[in-house]
Amino acid sequence: MVSGRGGVGESPAGPDADPDAEQDGAGEPTGAEHGRDGAGTGTAGAEHGQDGAGAEAAAQVSEAQAELAAQKVERERIARRKAEREGPVDAGAKLSGRAADLLAAVRAVESGAKPPAPLYFDEAPAAPRKAAPAPPQPRPAAAPPTPAPAVADIGAVRAVLARGGAPEALAGQTAAVLGEGAAEQLTEDPWRLLAVSGVRPTQADGFAQALLGPAAGPADERRGAALLGWLLDQAAAKGHTALEAPVLEKALAQYGVPAPAETLEAAIGDGAVLVFHEPLGPPAAEDEEPPVRLLVGLEAHALAEEALADGLARLAGTFAGPADWSAAADGPAAELVRAVAGHGLVTHTGGEAARAEPAALLAAARRLGLRAVLAAHAPAPDAVTVAGLLAGTEGPGRDSDGRFDLDLLIVLDAPQLDVEQAAALVESVPDGARLVLSGDPGVLGSAGPGRVFADVLAARAFPQVVSRTPDPGPIGELVSGIGVGELNRVDAPGKEVVIVPVRDAGEAVHRTVQLVAESVPRAFGIPAEEVQVIVPGHGGPAGTRALNAALKERLNPGPGRFAGFDPGDRVVHVPSPGRALPARVVSADAQGLHLDAGGARVVVPQDRVEAQVRHGWAVTAHQAVGRRWPAVVAVLPGDAAQALSRDWVYTAFGRAERHLSVVHGVEEALPRAVAQGLPKPRTTRLTGLLRALAAAQEEQP
């Protein structure tokens, strides 16, 4: 691989220079390297917020609303099941019981003293159930969405925002987030504005000072509590399900909270956050306690992570026993077929070529008369989407217990599962059924919190099948090397891999348009609509925004009659965070923007177009994961050097089937990222929970 010239006169864009240049969220407020791929959701801070409530428009139940509502119902059911298994954490201004024990543990660890007896929220888990649990309540395939705030409520919130100098356009979103009595909540606690996506602490502080005057100081307890929740939300956007207590205290101090330890203790006492005890290894001596770390997390993520661990153990524990599938165990998928025949839960890893093995397993299971379903992150042959499966719009129905009518569920793209989505999925798999989690560990992780697939693999509590099927051709050889940290020169006699050196962002945009519109179609016979541009971020002079503007001007010029879009525009529809669906604009009318998404007609209401639709000639690697195109142009402008990592390069380059062009302007940053740019760590609890469950099962007589 030849390193090209690039980056002359350019400096890497830090988070203060251009947050969008280093993130793949649609301007999420965190600047997270794994932020949610949205189409403008949360793009603006308080000064650029939008009224997304749509109170003045007719309510319309969309696929996204149905999916989110269905998942909300599922999470509520998970919470009820958890509440039945364990009592709630004690709360109140005057601490006692478990909350007092937790706070004592926090203080003990901070002081270096030995922690007290382990009376923690995550006590040793019970052994996995062998018998079927009590039937859960049936869940509707698509629950009705949460009703939009009333016009009067939005008006009251708008008045409060105006008094505090905040943009009135935030009224709808604020009313939706805070719920009933939103105006009263803001009046009593102005820092509640931090719960609105895109609002920063400095903006919330200014709002509070305008409403409260001199009483709005940095030591206000309301401010500390809101900042703590905001910090955990930002951590979740970066993939964490919890943070270590000292990390949170340090972050609170950086935002001017004078007593961060007391703020954290108060939040624990109020039940706003939960504390978990996680052993770090065996004790140094028999009479000593094992070393621990104390993690703090939000209840929703904690319940989902524990429900997921419990559900995975349930599937392994309720498996009826091995079956004789020897007649179907042949070809490259033979090892996978044998493993699934003998176990209730199996993991499967491999590259793009290895996706044929789960497909072969699906065919074998159906030949054996099993009700087998293949689910994927993005549309795939003979597969339903995970989102559609959970929403009830695709796949099998549900039985009287609310669980899927199936015997085998195979999930492709497992690294894309966040912890809440995975928990809802696993909870819906019936006892005795088989579950296969399949994916490529080298690709970018989920848009939401958690590292489910990586944690399950790390726990080593279930059988693992590693594919031996190599990815073919020069692109496969290149990507395989990247996966192990090597950027190798590959022999590409058919110009399967081409390096295009550029000096600056302007040249990068020019060469990219030339490649998509002329060079690739002429040299390889691949039409421009089948060439996908992949970029590290949305912002900057060569980000998706700039490239999409240039590509639209060349490939489908027009005035942008409807919110910047014209018929024929190639777009990405993001109905919910983490879901990026390629589509093409068909038309627009009073109902909204009409899209063709792979043959399916989708109407995006007018008030959601700006938040949910982007031009799609150029996308981020996070938006591209789970899909492949005949040709890919990976654009690496000089200002993207700091945003590169091994998993980003692996994902972007691996989206190409026949041809890969690399518009190269980062000089030595590319091989350095491949060799040293490991994925950013995520703090999660799933691996520890699974190991504890496995140990408890082994101890059973």
Length of the chain measured in residues: 701
Distance of alpha carbon 412 from alpha carbon 441, whole angstroms: 12
Q: What is the mean pLDDT of residues 17-38?
A: 36
Identity of the amino acid at 690: L
pLDDT band, residue 608 (cuts 50/70/90): confident
DSSP-based three-state secondary structure for 297: strand
Which backbone phi and psi does 653 adopt, to 5 degrees?
-65, -35
pLDDT reading at 137 higher than 80: no
pLDDT reading at 209 higher than 90: yes
In the β-sheet with 592-597, what is the strand arrangement from edge to edge?
600-605, 592-597, 581-589, 570-573, 613-615
Contacts of residue 547, Cβ cutoff 8 Å, sequence gap at least 6: 509, 512, 513, 533, 535, 617, 618, 635
Identity of the amino acid at 400: S
pLDDT reading at 52 higher than 60: no
For position 66, what pLDDT does the model report?
54
Q: What is the mean pLDDT of residues 369-378?
A: 95
Q: What is the mean pLDDT of residues 408-420?
A: 96
Contacts of residue 566, Cβ cutoff 8 Å, sequence gap at least 6: 556, 558, 559, 560, 585
Q: What is the mean pLDDT of residues 36-56?
A: 38
Distance of alpha carbon 681 from alpha carbon 238, whole angstroms: 9
For position 65, what pLDDT does the model report?
52
Q: Which residues of 526-535 are buried (b: 16+ CB within 10 A; e: fewer)?
A: bebeebbbbb
Helices (H), 3-150: 63-85, 97-111
Strand pairing report for 464-466 and 600-605:
unpaired
Strand pairing report for 372-376 and 408-411:
parallel
* pLDDT per position as a tens digit, 526-537: 999 999 999 999
Task: Between 105 and 321, name the one with better pLDDT.
Answer: 321
pLDDT band, residue 675 (cuts 50/70/90): very high
Distance of alpha carbon 254 from alpha carbon 248, whole angstroms: 10
Angle in degrees, CA 363, 365, 371, rounded to 5: 105
Quote the percentage of the chain above a pLDDT of 90: 66
- Of 113-122, 376-385, 498-507, the poorest mean pLDDT is in 113-122
DSSP-based three-state secondary structure for 302: helix
pTM of the model: 0.79
pLDDT reading at 673 higher than 60: yes
pLDDT reading at 581 higher than 80: yes
Which backbone phi and psi does 573 adopt, to 5 degrees?
-100, 125
pLDDT reading at 144 higher than 70: no
Q: Are 315 and 430 in contact (CB under 8 A)?
A: no
For position 434, what pLDDT does the model report?
96
Q: CA distances (Å), 568 to each of 358, 558, 594, 604, in order? A: 35, 10, 11, 16
Task: Between 81 and 500, name the one with better pLDDT.
Answer: 500
Q: Compute the half-sphere exposure of residue 122: CA atoms within 13 Å on the CB side of its CA.
A: 28
DSSP-based three-state secondary structure for 618: strand
pLDDT band, residue 72 (cuts 50/70/90): low
Largest CA distance in the chain: 78
Distance of alpha carbon 304 from alpha carbon 302, whole angstroms: 5
For position 379, what pLDDT does the model report?
86
Angle between helices 97-111 and 260-270 (to 10 degrees): 160
User: In terms of Cα–Cα distance, which of 501, 535, 649, 666 is closest to 10?
Assistant: 666
Mean pLDDT over the full length of the chain? 82
Q: Are 582 and 624 in contact (CB under 8 A)?
A: no
Distance of alpha carbon 292 from alpha carbon 282, whole angstroms: 10
Distance of alpha carbon 564 from alpha carbon 460, whole angstroms: 50
- Of 83-97, 151-165, 247-261, 350-364, the poorest mean pLDDT is in 83-97
For position 288, what pLDDT does the model report?
74
The dihedral of CA 302, 303, 309, 312: what is its sign? negative
pLDDT reading at 654 higher than 70: yes
Strand pairing report for 345-349 and 434-439:
parallel
Q: What is the mean pLDDT of residues 594-607?
A: 91
- Of 17-31, 493-507, 672-686, the poorest mean pLDDT is in 17-31
* The two structure tokens encoding residue 593: 């923007």
Quote the percentage of the chain above a pLDDT of 70: 78
Task: Between 49 and 264, name the one with better pLDDT.
Answer: 264
* Residues pairing with 439 in the sheet: 349
Distance of alpha carbon 269 from alpha carbon 276, whole angstroms: 14
Q: What is the mean pLDDT of residues 245-270?
A: 94
DSSP-based three-state secondary structure for 370: coil
The dihedral of CA 66, 68, 72, 74: what is its sign? positive
For position 611, what pLDDT does the model report?
87
* The two structure tokens encoding residue 19: 């947050």
Contacts of residue 517, Cβ cutoff 8 Å, sequence gap at least 6: 528, 551, 554, 555
* pLDDT per position as a tens digit, 419-466: 999 999 999 999 999 999 999 999 999 999 999 999 999 999 999 999
pLDDT band, residue 83 (cuts 50/70/90): low
Q: Where are the beta strands (DSSP E) in 220-319?
A: 243-244, 274-279, 292-297
pLDDT band, residue 600 (cuts 50/70/90): confident
CA 83 to chain centre: 26
User: In terms of Cα–Cα distance, which of 619, 574, 617 is closest to 593?
Assistant: 574
How many CB atoms within 10 Å of residue 47? 13
- Maximum average pLDDT range among 85-89, 144-148, 415-419, 604-608: 415-419
For position 194, what pLDDT does the model report?
95
Q: Which residues of 245-269 are buried (b: 16+ CB within 10 A; e: fewer)?
A: bbbbbebbeebebeebbebbbbbbb
pLDDT reading at 4 higher than 70: no
pLDDT reading at 323 higher than 50: yes
Q: Compute the half-sphere exposure of residue 153: CA atoms within 13 Å on the CB side of its CA.
A: 22
Helical (H) or strand (E) element with 662:
strand 656-664
pLDDT reading at 219 higher than 50: yes
For position 292, what pLDDT does the model report?
85
Q: What is the mean pLDDT of residues 113-123?
A: 35
User: In terms of Cα–Cα distance, which of 234, 79, 71, 233 is closest to 576?
Assistant: 71
Distance of alpha carbon 575 from alpha carbon 611, whole angstroms: 9
* pLDDT per position as a tens digit, 383-398: 999 999 999 999 999 9
* The two structure tokens encoding residue 8: 């002359």
Instruction: Give the single-character DSSP code of 517.
Output: I
For position 185, what pLDDT does the model report?
95
Q: How many helices (H) and strands (E) does the chain have?
A: 24, 19
For position 480, what pLDDT does the model report?
95
The dihedral of CA 578, 581, 587, 589: what is its sign? negative
Q: CA distances (Å), 560 to each of 47, 350, 501, 578, 606, in order? A: 25, 42, 32, 26, 14
Q: Compute the half-sphere exposure of residue 577: CA atoms within 13 Å on the CB side of its CA.
A: 24
For position 588, what pLDDT does the model report?
94
For position 298, what pLDDT does the model report?
92
Distance of alpha carbon 171 from alpha carbon 494, whole angstroms: 57
